[in-house]
Structure 1
Protein backbone atom coordinates (compact mmCIF):
# COMPACT_ATOMS: atom_id res chain seq x y z
CA UNK A 1 0.00 0.00 0.00
CA UNK A 2 1.27 3.45 -0.93
CA UNK A 3 0.55 6.27 1.53
CA UNK A 4 0.64 9.98 0.76
CA UNK A 5 2.65 12.68 2.51
CA UNK A 6 3.45 16.33 1.95
CA UNK A 7 6.91 17.86 1.92
CA UNK A 8 6.73 20.70 4.43
CA UNK A 9 8.84 22.91 2.13
CA UNK A 10 5.59 23.44 0.21
CA UNK A 11 4.29 25.43 3.21
CA UNK A 12 7.43 27.47 3.88
CA UNK A 13 5.82 30.81 2.87
CA UNK A 14 3.24 30.58 5.67
CA UNK A 15 4.08 32.48 8.83
CA UNK A 16 2.77 29.94 11.32
CA UNK A 17 4.32 27.54 13.82
CA UNK A 18 5.00 24.07 12.52
CA UNK A 19 2.38 22.41 14.77
CA UNK A 20 -0.30 24.67 13.22
CA UNK A 21 0.91 23.73 9.74
CA UNK A 22 0.67 20.05 10.68
CA UNK A 23 -2.97 20.64 11.61
CA UNK A 24 -3.54 21.89 8.06
CA UNK A 25 -1.69 18.90 6.62
CA UNK A 26 -3.93 16.58 8.59
CA UNK A 27 -7.06 18.44 7.52
CA UNK A 28 -5.98 18.19 3.88
CA UNK A 29 -6.12 14.39 4.12
CA UNK A 30 -2.49 13.32 4.09
CA UNK A 31 -1.19 10.24 5.88
CA UNK A 32 2.16 11.76 6.73
CA UNK A 33 4.66 14.56 6.42
CA UNK A 34 8.21 14.84 5.17
CA UNK A 35 10.03 17.42 7.24
CA UNK A 36 12.42 20.07 5.99
CA UNK A 37 14.44 22.74 7.76
CA UNK A 38 11.59 24.33 9.78
CA UNK A 39 11.23 21.28 11.98
CA UNK A 40 13.71 22.74 14.48
CA UNK A 41 11.79 26.01 14.92
CA UNK A 42 9.20 24.55 17.33
CA UNK A 43 9.59 22.51 20.52
CA UNK A 44 9.79 18.84 19.64
CA UNK A 45 7.04 18.06 22.16
CA UNK A 46 4.63 20.37 20.31
CA UNK A 47 5.54 18.80 16.97
CA UNK A 48 4.99 15.28 18.31
CA UNK A 49 1.65 16.30 19.80
CA UNK A 50 0.54 17.76 16.45
CA UNK A 51 1.55 14.59 14.64
CA UNK A 52 -0.44 12.53 17.14
CA UNK A 53 -3.65 14.57 17.07
CA UNK A 54 -3.65 14.57 13.26
CA UNK A 55 -2.75 10.88 12.98
CA UNK A 56 0.24 11.80 10.82
CA UNK A 57 3.26 9.57 10.35
CA UNK A 58 6.75 10.92 9.70
CA UNK A 59 7.41 9.74 6.17
CA UNK A 60 10.98 11.04 6.16
CA UNK A 61 13.03 14.18 6.72
CA UNK A 62 15.23 16.28 4.45
CA UNK A 63 18.55 16.84 6.19
CA UNK A 64 21.42 18.85 4.67
CA UNK A 65 24.52 16.77 4.15
CA UNK A 66 26.53 19.27 6.20
CA UNK A 67 24.34 18.63 9.27
CA UNK A 68 25.10 14.93 9.04
CA UNK A 69 28.79 15.37 8.37
CA UNK A 70 29.43 18.11 10.95
CA UNK A 71 27.16 16.99 13.81
CA UNK A 72 26.21 13.40 13.07
CA UNK A 73 25.24 12.13 16.52
CA UNK A 74 23.05 15.07 17.52
CA UNK A 75 21.39 15.26 14.10
CA UNK A 76 20.51 11.58 14.00
CA UNK A 77 19.29 11.65 17.61
CA UNK A 78 16.99 14.57 16.86
CA UNK A 79 15.30 12.87 13.93
CA UNK A 80 15.10 9.56 15.78
CA UNK A 81 13.19 11.40 18.51
CA UNK A 82 10.76 12.63 15.87
CA UNK A 83 10.25 9.10 14.58
CA UNK A 84 11.90 9.54 11.19
CA UNK A 85 13.23 6.28 9.75
CA UNK A 86 14.46 7.82 6.48
CA UNK A 87 16.84 10.77 6.32
CA UNK A 88 17.15 12.33 2.88
CA UNK A 89 20.01 14.46 1.60
CA UNK A 90 17.96 16.94 -0.42
CA UNK A 91 20.59 18.75 -2.48
CA UNK A 92 24.14 18.74 -3.72
CA UNK A 93 25.39 21.68 -5.76
CA UNK A 94 25.61 21.27 -9.57
CA UNK A 95 29.41 21.20 -9.38
CA UNK A 96 29.16 17.71 -7.89
CA UNK A 97 27.77 16.41 -11.18
CA UNK A 98 30.09 18.12 -13.68
CA UNK A 99 32.56 15.26 -14.11
CA UNK A 100 33.01 11.60 -13.34
CA UNK A 101 35.50 12.43 -10.61
CA UNK A 102 33.07 14.86 -8.98
CA UNK A 103 30.25 12.30 -9.04
CA UNK A 104 32.55 9.65 -7.57
CA UNK A 105 33.53 12.00 -4.75
CA UNK A 106 29.87 12.71 -3.99
CA UNK A 107 29.18 8.98 -3.98
CA UNK A 108 31.97 8.43 -1.46
CA UNK A 109 30.51 11.06 0.88
CA UNK A 110 27.03 9.58 0.69
CA UNK A 111 28.31 6.03 1.12
CA UNK A 112 30.29 7.05 4.19
CA UNK A 113 27.18 8.54 5.78
CA UNK A 114 25.04 5.54 4.85
CA UNK A 115 27.64 3.23 6.40
CA UNK A 116 27.83 5.29 9.57
CA UNK A 117 24.05 5.44 9.86
CA UNK A 118 23.73 1.69 9.37
CA UNK A 119 26.28 1.12 12.12
CA UNK A 120 24.56 3.58 14.47
CA UNK A 121 20.93 2.59 13.89
CA UNK A 122 20.12 0.00 11.20
CA UNK A 123 16.44 0.95 11.39
CA UNK A 124 17.17 4.41 9.91
CA UNK A 125 17.99 4.68 6.21
CA UNK A 126 19.77 7.36 4.21
CA UNK A 127 18.47 8.44 0.80
CA UNK A 128 19.34 11.03 -1.83
CA UNK A 129 16.84 13.37 -3.50
CA UNK A 130 17.52 14.63 -7.02
CA UNK A 131 16.99 17.89 -8.83
CA UNK A 132 17.79 18.33 -12.53
CA UNK A 133 21.58 18.75 -12.31
CA UNK A 134 21.97 15.03 -11.64
CA UNK A 135 20.81 14.24 -15.18
CA UNK A 136 23.54 16.04 -17.10
CA UNK A 137 25.64 13.71 -19.19
CA UNK A 138 28.91 12.52 -17.65
CA UNK A 139 31.04 10.17 -19.71
CA UNK A 140 28.07 9.31 -21.88
CA UNK A 141 25.50 8.63 -19.18
CA UNK A 142 23.41 10.60 -16.71
CA UNK A 143 25.34 11.59 -13.61
CA UNK A 144 22.54 10.12 -11.48
CA UNK A 145 23.15 6.70 -13.01
CA UNK A 146 26.83 6.94 -12.10
CA UNK A 147 26.00 8.08 -8.57
CA UNK A 148 23.71 5.09 -8.00
CA UNK A 149 26.17 2.67 -9.58
CA UNK A 150 28.93 3.86 -7.27
CA UNK A 151 26.94 3.82 -4.03
CA UNK A 152 25.90 0.90 -1.91
CA UNK A 153 22.24 -0.11 -2.06
CA UNK A 154 21.92 1.02 1.55
CA UNK A 155 21.62 4.50 0.02
CA UNK A 156 18.06 4.97 -1.14
CA UNK A 157 16.96 7.06 -4.11
CA UNK A 158 14.12 9.49 -3.40
CA UNK A 159 13.23 10.36 -6.97
CA UNK A 160 11.70 13.76 -7.58
CA UNK A 161 9.71 13.03 -10.72
CA UNK A 162 9.30 16.67 -11.66
CA UNK A 163 12.98 17.52 -11.57
CA UNK A 164 13.86 14.25 -13.29
CA UNK A 165 11.50 15.28 -16.10
CA UNK A 166 13.19 18.70 -16.33
CA UNK A 167 16.51 16.87 -16.56
CA UNK A 168 15.28 14.96 -19.61
CA UNK A 169 14.61 11.60 -17.96
CA UNK A 170 11.41 9.58 -17.96
CA UNK A 171 10.40 9.34 -14.29
CA UNK A 172 8.31 6.17 -14.53
CA UNK A 173 11.12 4.36 -16.34
CA UNK A 174 13.59 5.47 -13.64
CA UNK A 175 11.33 4.16 -10.89
CA UNK A 176 11.07 0.82 -12.68
CA UNK A 177 14.82 0.65 -13.19
CA UNK A 178 15.79 1.53 -9.63
CA UNK A 179 12.82 -0.01 -7.82
CA UNK A 180 15.06 -1.72 -5.28
CA UNK A 181 16.47 1.68 -4.19
CA UNK A 182 13.16 3.56 -4.04
CA UNK A 183 10.80 3.76 -1.08
CA UNK A 184 9.77 7.42 -1.45
CA UNK A 185 8.64 9.16 -4.64
CA UNK A 186 8.36 12.94 -4.80
CA UNK A 187 5.12 13.55 -6.66
CA UNK A 188 5.73 16.96 -8.21
CA UNK A 189 4.63 18.31 -11.56
CA UNK A 190 6.54 20.74 -13.76
CA UNK A 191 6.31 22.82 -16.87
CA UNK A 192 9.51 21.57 -18.50
CA UNK A 193 9.84 24.48 -20.92
CA UNK A 194 9.80 27.01 -18.05
CA UNK A 195 11.48 24.69 -15.54
CA UNK A 196 8.86 25.60 -12.95
CA UNK A 197 6.65 23.73 -10.51
CA UNK A 198 2.95 23.55 -11.32
CA UNK A 199 -0.05 21.83 -9.78
CA UNK A 200 -0.32 18.08 -10.30
CA UNK A 201 -1.93 17.38 -13.64
CA UNK A 202 -1.09 20.79 -15.11
CA UNK A 203 2.43 20.02 -16.29
CA UNK A 204 4.42 17.45 -18.21
CA UNK A 205 4.62 14.64 -15.65
CA UNK A 206 2.45 11.59 -16.33
CA UNK A 207 1.14 11.08 -12.79
CA UNK A 208 -0.71 7.88 -13.65
CA UNK A 209 2.46 6.29 -15.05
CA UNK A 210 4.47 7.45 -12.05
CA UNK A 211 1.89 6.05 -9.64
CA UNK A 212 1.79 2.72 -11.46
CA UNK A 213 5.59 2.48 -11.31
CA UNK A 214 5.62 3.43 -7.62
CA UNK A 215 3.21 0.61 -6.93
CA UNK A 216 5.31 -1.87 -8.89
CA UNK A 217 8.33 -0.74 -6.89
CA UNK A 218 6.38 -1.32 -3.67
CA UNK A 219 7.16 2.26 -2.64
CA UNK A 220 5.86 3.23 0.77
CA UNK A 221 5.22 6.93 0.11
CA UNK A 222 4.17 9.39 -2.55
CA UNK A 223 5.33 12.77 -1.26
CA UNK A 224 3.56 15.83 -2.66
CA UNK A 225 5.64 18.94 -3.23
CA UNK A 226 5.17 22.26 -4.98
CA UNK A 227 8.21 24.52 -4.90
CA UNK A 228 6.38 27.86 -5.06
CA UNK A 229 2.59 27.67 -4.75
CA UNK A 230 0.56 30.88 -4.86
CA UNK A 231 -1.73 29.52 -2.13
CA UNK A 232 0.08 26.82 -0.14
CA UNK A 233 -3.01 25.51 1.66
CA UNK A 234 -5.02 25.24 -1.55
CA UNK A 235 -1.98 23.58 -3.12
CA UNK A 236 -1.73 20.82 -0.53
CA UNK A 237 -5.48 20.24 -0.57
CA UNK A 238 -5.47 19.88 -4.34
CA UNK A 239 -2.34 17.75 -4.17
CA UNK A 240 -3.92 15.34 -1.70
CA UNK A 241 -7.01 14.96 -3.91
CA UNK A 242 -4.89 14.39 -7.01
CA UNK A 243 -2.83 11.70 -5.33
CA UNK A 244 -5.91 9.95 -3.93
CA UNK A 245 -7.44 9.92 -7.42
CA UNK A 246 -4.24 8.54 -8.94
CA UNK A 247 -4.13 5.78 -6.35
CA UNK A 248 -7.83 4.89 -6.61
Structure 2
Protein backbone atom coordinates (compact mmCIF):
# COMPACT_ATOMS: atom_id res chain seq x y z
CA UNK A 1 0.00 0.00 0.00
CA UNK A 2 2.78 2.42 0.94
CA UNK A 3 6.28 2.55 -0.48
CA UNK A 4 8.51 -0.12 1.05
CA UNK A 5 11.05 2.65 1.71
CA UNK A 6 8.61 4.68 3.81
CA UNK A 7 8.31 4.17 7.57
CA UNK A 8 6.69 6.03 10.44
CA UNK A 9 8.45 7.40 13.49
CA UNK A 10 6.94 6.45 16.83
CA UNK A 11 7.21 10.18 17.60
CA UNK A 12 4.16 10.59 15.34
CA UNK A 13 2.14 8.90 18.10
CA UNK A 14 4.12 10.09 21.09
CA UNK A 15 0.88 10.70 23.04
CA UNK A 16 0.33 6.93 23.18
CA UNK A 17 2.30 4.45 25.31
CA UNK A 18 4.83 2.56 23.20
CA UNK A 19 2.84 -0.71 22.78
CA UNK A 20 -0.24 1.24 21.70
CA UNK A 21 1.77 3.44 19.33
CA UNK A 22 3.28 0.33 17.72
CA UNK A 23 -0.19 -1.18 17.26
CA UNK A 24 -1.44 2.05 15.71
CA UNK A 25 1.48 2.22 13.28
CA UNK A 26 1.14 -1.44 12.35
CA UNK A 27 -2.61 -1.01 11.92
CA UNK A 28 -1.93 1.71 9.36
CA UNK A 29 0.01 -0.91 7.34
CA UNK A 30 3.50 0.44 7.91
CA UNK A 31 6.23 -2.17 8.13
CA UNK A 32 9.04 0.03 9.44
CA UNK A 33 9.53 2.60 12.19
CA UNK A 34 12.01 5.00 13.67
CA UNK A 35 11.95 4.62 17.45
CA UNK A 36 11.72 7.89 19.38
CA UNK A 37 14.01 8.12 22.41
CA UNK A 38 13.99 11.87 23.00
CA UNK A 39 13.37 12.97 26.60
CA UNK A 40 10.71 15.66 26.73
CA UNK A 41 9.63 14.98 23.14
CA UNK A 42 8.87 11.26 23.11
CA UNK A 43 8.95 9.02 26.16
CA UNK A 44 8.74 5.68 24.37
CA UNK A 45 12.22 4.92 25.70
CA UNK A 46 12.80 5.72 29.41
CA UNK A 47 15.40 8.40 30.03
CA UNK A 48 16.81 6.27 32.86
CA UNK A 49 17.90 3.56 30.46
CA UNK A 50 19.29 0.54 32.25
CA UNK A 51 19.52 -3.09 31.13
CA UNK A 52 15.97 -3.85 32.31
CA UNK A 53 14.57 -0.88 30.36
CA UNK A 54 16.45 -1.91 27.22
CA UNK A 55 15.04 -5.42 27.53
CA UNK A 56 11.50 -4.12 28.07
CA UNK A 57 11.54 -1.70 25.13
CA UNK A 58 13.22 -4.22 22.83
CA UNK A 59 10.62 -6.84 23.68
CA UNK A 60 7.75 -4.47 22.88
CA UNK A 61 9.30 -3.48 19.55
CA UNK A 62 10.36 -6.97 18.50
CA UNK A 63 6.97 -8.42 19.39
CA UNK A 64 5.26 -5.82 17.19
CA UNK A 65 6.68 -7.32 14.00
CA UNK A 66 7.80 -3.88 12.80
CA UNK A 67 11.31 -3.28 11.45
CA UNK A 68 13.32 -0.48 13.01
CA UNK A 69 15.38 1.76 10.75
CA UNK A 70 16.86 3.98 13.47
CA UNK A 71 16.63 4.98 17.12
CA UNK A 72 16.30 8.75 17.46
CA UNK A 73 18.07 9.51 20.72
CA UNK A 74 19.82 12.16 22.78
CA UNK A 75 22.72 12.03 25.25
CA UNK A 76 22.66 15.70 26.26
CA UNK A 77 24.10 18.88 24.80
CA UNK A 78 27.06 17.82 22.70
CA UNK A 79 28.64 21.28 22.89
CA UNK A 80 28.41 21.46 26.69
CA UNK A 81 31.57 21.55 28.79
CA UNK A 82 31.50 18.43 30.98
CA UNK A 83 33.36 17.41 34.07
CA UNK A 84 34.66 13.88 34.53
CA UNK A 85 31.49 12.62 36.26
CA UNK A 86 29.20 14.11 33.61
CA UNK A 87 31.30 12.60 30.85
CA UNK A 88 31.06 9.16 32.45
CA UNK A 89 27.28 9.54 32.70
CA UNK A 90 27.06 10.48 29.03
CA UNK A 91 29.17 7.50 28.00
CA UNK A 92 26.98 5.16 30.04
CA UNK A 93 23.79 6.56 28.53
CA UNK A 94 25.26 6.33 25.02
CA UNK A 95 26.23 2.70 25.54
CA UNK A 96 22.69 1.88 26.69
CA UNK A 97 21.20 3.59 23.63
CA UNK A 98 23.59 1.65 21.40
CA UNK A 99 22.65 -1.56 23.17
CA UNK A 100 18.99 -0.76 22.53
CA UNK A 101 19.69 0.10 18.89
CA UNK A 102 21.32 -3.30 18.37
CA UNK A 103 18.63 -5.12 20.37
CA UNK A 104 15.80 -3.83 18.14
CA UNK A 105 17.77 -4.55 14.96
CA UNK A 106 18.04 -0.91 13.94
CA UNK A 107 20.59 0.25 11.42
CA UNK A 108 21.67 3.33 13.34
CA UNK A 109 21.41 5.56 16.37
CA UNK A 110 20.61 9.20 15.54
CA UNK A 111 22.02 12.00 17.70
CA UNK A 112 21.38 15.76 17.43
CA UNK A 113 23.70 18.59 16.39
CA UNK A 114 24.22 20.40 19.69
CA UNK A 115 22.25 22.07 22.45
CA UNK A 116 18.70 23.43 22.11
CA UNK A 117 20.12 26.91 21.70
CA UNK A 118 21.45 28.81 18.68
CA UNK A 119 24.06 30.69 20.69
CA UNK A 120 27.28 28.75 21.25
CA UNK A 121 28.60 28.00 24.72
CA UNK A 122 32.07 29.26 23.78
CA UNK A 123 32.51 30.29 20.14
CA UNK A 124 30.71 28.81 17.14
CA UNK A 125 33.96 27.37 15.80
CA UNK A 126 34.83 25.75 19.14
CA UNK A 127 31.32 24.44 19.68
CA UNK A 128 31.05 22.88 16.23
CA UNK A 129 34.46 21.29 16.73
CA UNK A 130 33.29 19.91 20.09
CA UNK A 131 30.05 18.53 18.64
CA UNK A 132 31.98 16.88 15.82
CA UNK A 133 34.42 15.29 18.27
CA UNK A 134 31.58 13.93 20.41
CA UNK A 135 29.83 12.51 17.34
CA UNK A 136 33.07 10.96 16.07
CA UNK A 137 33.60 9.23 19.42
CA UNK A 138 29.97 8.07 19.42
CA UNK A 139 30.45 6.70 15.89
CA UNK A 140 33.46 4.72 17.08
CA UNK A 141 31.43 3.24 19.94
CA UNK A 142 28.53 2.56 17.57
CA UNK A 143 30.78 0.59 15.23
CA UNK A 144 31.88 -1.56 18.18
CA UNK A 145 28.19 -2.23 18.89
CA UNK A 146 27.57 -3.23 15.26
CA UNK A 147 25.45 -0.21 14.28
CA UNK A 148 25.94 3.16 12.59
CA UNK A 149 25.83 6.69 13.99
CA UNK A 150 23.80 9.34 12.16
CA UNK A 151 23.27 13.00 13.01
CA UNK A 152 20.35 15.30 12.25
CA UNK A 153 22.84 17.93 11.22
CA UNK A 154 20.29 20.71 10.66
CA UNK A 155 17.81 21.13 13.51
CA UNK A 156 15.96 24.44 13.68
CA UNK A 157 16.03 24.64 17.48
CA UNK A 158 19.62 23.50 18.02
CA UNK A 159 23.12 24.89 17.61
CA UNK A 160 23.34 23.91 13.93
CA UNK A 161 20.01 25.43 12.98
CA UNK A 162 20.56 26.36 9.33
CA UNK A 163 22.25 25.01 6.21
CA UNK A 164 25.45 27.03 6.71
CA UNK A 165 26.04 25.64 10.21
CA UNK A 166 25.03 22.13 9.13
CA UNK A 167 27.62 22.35 6.36
CA UNK A 168 30.32 23.43 8.81
CA UNK A 169 29.49 20.50 11.09
CA UNK A 170 29.40 18.02 8.22
CA UNK A 171 32.80 19.21 6.99
CA UNK A 172 34.17 18.72 10.51
CA UNK A 173 32.83 15.15 10.45
CA UNK A 174 34.61 14.21 7.22
CA UNK A 175 36.08 10.72 7.54
CA UNK A 176 34.26 9.81 10.77
CA UNK A 177 31.55 7.68 9.17
CA UNK A 178 28.75 9.80 10.70
CA UNK A 179 25.77 9.94 8.34
CA UNK A 180 23.51 12.95 7.77
CA UNK A 181 19.78 12.79 8.49
CA UNK A 182 17.80 15.24 6.35
CA UNK A 183 14.59 16.70 7.80
CA UNK A 184 12.38 18.69 5.40
CA UNK A 185 10.64 20.57 8.20
CA UNK A 186 13.79 21.88 9.88
CA UNK A 187 15.24 22.98 6.55
CA UNK A 188 12.11 24.92 5.58
CA UNK A 189 11.61 26.39 9.08
CA UNK A 190 15.15 27.80 8.96
CA UNK A 191 14.50 29.48 5.61
CA UNK A 192 16.44 26.85 3.68
CA UNK A 193 15.71 24.97 0.46
CA UNK A 194 15.45 21.16 0.55
CA UNK A 195 16.83 20.88 -3.00
CA UNK A 196 19.89 22.92 -2.04
CA UNK A 197 20.33 20.76 1.06
CA UNK A 198 20.28 17.61 -1.08
CA UNK A 199 22.77 19.08 -3.53
CA UNK A 200 25.08 20.11 -0.67
CA UNK A 201 25.00 16.86 1.31
CA UNK A 202 23.94 14.26 -1.28
CA UNK A 203 26.72 11.75 -0.70
CA UNK A 204 26.36 11.97 3.10
CA UNK A 205 22.55 11.65 3.48
CA UNK A 206 21.67 8.32 5.10
CA UNK A 207 18.04 8.90 6.16
CA UNK A 208 15.21 11.39 5.57
CA UNK A 209 12.56 12.68 7.97
CA UNK A 210 9.29 13.99 6.53
CA UNK A 211 7.09 16.68 8.06
CA UNK A 212 5.81 20.01 6.73
CA UNK A 213 6.75 23.50 7.90
CA UNK A 214 6.65 27.22 7.34
CA UNK A 215 9.27 29.73 8.41
CA UNK A 216 9.76 29.21 12.13
CA UNK A 217 7.17 26.44 12.49
CA UNK A 218 8.11 22.75 12.14
CA UNK A 219 4.88 21.24 13.49
CA UNK A 220 2.64 21.04 10.41
CA UNK A 221 1.03 18.06 8.70
CA UNK A 222 2.23 17.28 5.20
CA UNK A 223 0.34 19.54 2.81
CA UNK A 224 -0.28 22.28 5.38
CA UNK A 225 3.07 24.02 4.98
CA UNK A 226 5.52 25.20 2.36
CA UNK A 227 7.85 22.21 1.93
CA UNK A 228 8.18 21.17 -1.72
CA UNK A 229 8.35 17.42 -1.20
CA UNK A 230 8.11 16.64 -4.90
CA UNK A 231 11.16 18.76 -5.76
CA UNK A 232 13.15 17.50 -2.77
CA UNK A 233 12.41 13.86 -3.48
CA UNK A 234 13.24 14.30 -7.17
CA UNK A 235 16.58 15.81 -6.16
CA UNK A 236 17.31 12.87 -3.88
CA UNK A 237 16.52 10.41 -6.66
CA UNK A 238 18.53 12.36 -9.23
CA UNK A 239 21.60 12.40 -7.01
CA UNK A 240 21.43 8.69 -6.21
CA UNK A 241 19.87 8.47 -2.74
CA UNK A 242 18.83 4.86 -2.08
CA UNK A 243 17.98 5.07 1.63
CA UNK A 244 14.68 5.17 3.47
CA UNK A 245 12.22 7.82 4.64
CA UNK A 246 10.24 8.25 7.84
CA UNK A 247 7.12 10.27 8.59
CA UNK A 248 8.03 12.12 11.79
CA UNK A 249 4.66 13.77 12.29
CA UNK A 250 5.06 15.62 15.55
CA UNK A 251 2.33 17.95 14.29
CA UNK A 252 0.08 20.35 16.18
CA UNK A 253 -2.52 21.12 13.53
CA UNK A 254 -4.60 17.96 14.03
CA UNK A 255 -6.21 16.38 17.07
CA UNK A 256 -5.02 13.02 18.33
CA UNK A 257 -8.23 11.47 16.98
CA UNK A 258 -7.42 12.86 13.53
CA UNK A 259 -3.79 11.79 13.63
CA UNK A 260 -4.12 8.25 12.17
CA UNK A 261 -6.07 9.51 9.15
CA UNK A 262 -3.61 12.38 8.63
CA UNK A 263 -0.71 9.92 8.81
CA UNK A 264 -2.34 7.63 6.25
CA UNK A 265 -2.96 10.56 3.90
CA UNK A 266 0.65 11.69 4.26
CA UNK A 267 1.93 8.18 3.56
CA UNK A 268 -0.22 7.86 0.45
CA UNK A 269 0.97 11.22 -0.87
CA UNK A 270 4.68 10.59 -0.21
CA UNK A 271 4.41 7.06 -1.65
CA UNK A 272 3.00 8.55 -4.84
CA UNK A 273 6.19 10.60 -5.18
CA UNK A 274 8.64 7.78 -4.53
TM range, smaller chain: 0.7 to 0.9
Instruction: Write out per-residue CA displacement over residues 201-239 of structure 1, whole angstroms, 9 at most, x where no aligned residue.
Output: 221110001211232332321111222342332232222
Q: 1:68 to 1:212 in 2, by over 3 A?
A: farther
Q: CA deviation at 1:96?
A: 4.5
Instruction: Write out per-residue CA displacement over residues 31-67 of structure 1, whole angstroms, 9 at most, x where no aligned residue.
Output: 31000124436553232111x2xxx311111111348
2:12 and 2:131 map into 1 onto residues whose CA distance is 27
Deviates more, 1:144-153 or 1:37-46: 37-46
CA contact (8 A) 2:189 2:217 kept: yes
- Does residue 49 of the first structure (1) align with residue 63 of the second (2)? yes
1:175 and 1:209 map into 2 onto residues whose CA distance is 10
1:113 and 1:206 map into 2 onto residues whose CA distance is 33
1:114 and 1:43 map into 2 onto residues whose CA distance is 23
1:76 and 1:21 map into 2 onto residues whose CA distance is 22
- How many matched pairs? 234
What's the counterpart of residue 272 of structure 2? 245
Give the SS at the match of 1:114. Answer: helix
- Does residue 167 of the first structure (1) align with residue 190 of the second (2)? yes
Q: 1:188 to 1:96 in 2, by over 3 A?
A: farther
CA contact (8 A) 2:181 2:208 kept: yes
CA contact (8 A) 1:2 1:220 kept: no
CA contact (8 A) 2:179 2:206 kept: yes
CA contact (8 A) 2:101 2:108 kept: no
- Unaligned runs of 5+ residues in structure 2 are 38-42, 47-55, 77-88
TM-score, scaled relative to structure 2: 0.77
Deviates more, 1:38-47 or 1:165-174: 38-47
CA contact (8 A) 1:68 1:76 kept: no
Instruction: Write out per-residue CA displacement over residues 133-174 of structure 1, whole angstroms, 9 at most, x where no aligned residue.
Output: 4245xxxx8111110000134011101111111112211221
Give the SS at the match of 2:45. Answer: helix
State the structure with bigger RCO (CA 8 A, min sep 6), 1 or 2: 1
- Does residue 6 of the first structure (1) align with residue 16 of the second (2)? no
What's the counterpart of residue 131 of structure 1? 155
Q: CA deviation at 1:84?
A: 1.0
Higher helix share: 1
Deviates more, 1:58-67 or 1:4-13: 58-67
CA contact (8 A) 1:63 1:87 kept: yes
